[in-house]
Structure 1
Amino acid sequence: MISNEQSQLLKLAQEVQQLTFSLVSYLSETGVAEPDFTTSSSEISYSAAYTSIRAKPNEVAQDLLLLVNGPRIEACRFVCSHNDLGAYQFAFKFGLIYKGPQEGKISLLDLSEQTRIDEICLGRMLRLLCSRRLFIEPEPDHFAHTSMTIIYAQD
């Protein structure tokens, strides 16, 4: 049996949990709702206190992800990061952020007709964006905003 004392992964995971608990406590104490991926998620605070509290969980969570994924996967993620940037550019160039409803979903067919983009290509690009939590696919071939895209649609 593996001891928590011996496992760097478990130590980091426990630290992430403790730091997240502190962050959630801070949000609760200040009356701020926890962020989530829904379009109605409240925007996070940019106060000095929140910025200070969120720095450590980010650092520790990143270390955990680096160890969990290993150097080969992280190198691949870096090399393929241009795909993510390309997907963002695609979304903005063709106005995908603004085409669907701010609440609810839009069918791939309707979006394809509005943008005049091939349905298969558009679906692939949207699914890549879904993998980055920019959209969700609540049912096959239907897409909706998340808190990560609604901010662009509203601003």
Structure 2
Amino acid sequence: MGVVTNGNKNGTLFSTDILALALDIVNHVPNIKTLLASQNLPAPNFSPDLPELPDTPEYAALRSGLVASLDDLRLLVVGPRTTMRSLIGSSNDLAALQVAFEFGFFTIVPVAEAESVAVEDVARQAGMDAGRARQVLRFLCTHRIFREVKDGWFAHTASSAAFGRDENLIGLGQYSMDDMFKSASFDGRLHQGVLSSL
């Protein structure tokens, strides 16, 4: 049996027909909704009160098939140049997350769905200026991490609330972001040292 990568078996190519991929997506979604309904779970949404999705082999298989088609469709529609530009620019996304972890945004913003907080309050509690806090929060909003409910007022989404409710997840985020940026910085210094010794 060949190596399986993103559902690609034995080196065969998936269809690059965007309509076929879209139909595959449409066929996967009802199966996921049915499975969730059978477990009395709502359909996924961005609410901070969304319950955890099942951690079962059956759900993982359904999710995997759907995500593979979604990823392929996105790559085909967006195109390689924009995809690579986004991948290269993802360090900006990670930098915004690092700021949110470092300054406690996930716990400063109230986790209750009906509650929001003014950016000035976030900035004051975080110990930074409101302009910088607004920039970071709005950048994270583009990834559905937090949401701006009205001008200058922010609340959680399902993604940000996951951090707000789980100290271990925050710890993992802090460790990963801090470690990654320090490693990248060290790699740059190491590279410069190698070049200067040539």
Q: Same fold (TM over 0.5)?
A: yes
Of structures 1 and 2, the larger Rg is shown by 2
Is this contact kept in 2: 1:87–1:129, CA < 8 A? yes
Greater relative contact order: 1 or 2 (C-alpha under 8 angstroms, separation 6 or more)? 1
Size of the aligned set, in residue pairs, is 149
Matches within 5 A, 1:58-137: 58-103=67-112, 104-137=115-148
- Residues 74-112 of structure 1: CA deviation (Å, up to 9, x unaligned): 011110011111111111000000112112100011111
Runs of 4+ aligned structure 1 residues displaced above 6 Å come to none
- Hey, what's the Cα distance between the residues in 2 that align with 1:142 and 1:66? 34
- Residues 115-136 of structure 1: CA deviation (Å, up to 9, x unaligned): 1211111111111100111100
- Hey, what's the Cα distance between the residues in 1 that align with 2:39 and 2:110? 32
> In the alignment, which of 6, 9, 13 is matched to residue 22 of structure 2?
13
Matches within 5 A, 1:28-67: 28-67=37-76
Q: Structure 1 residues 27-36 or 143-152, which shifts more? A: 27-36
TM-score by length of 1: 0.92
Identity of aligned residues (%): 29
Task: Structure 1: give runs of 5+ residues left out of the alignment.
Answer: 1-6
- Hey, what's the Cα distance between the residues in 2 that align with 1:105 and 1:44? 25
Is this contact kept in 2: 1:105–1:142, CA < 8 A? yes
Is this contact kept in 2: 1:136–1:146, CA < 8 A? yes
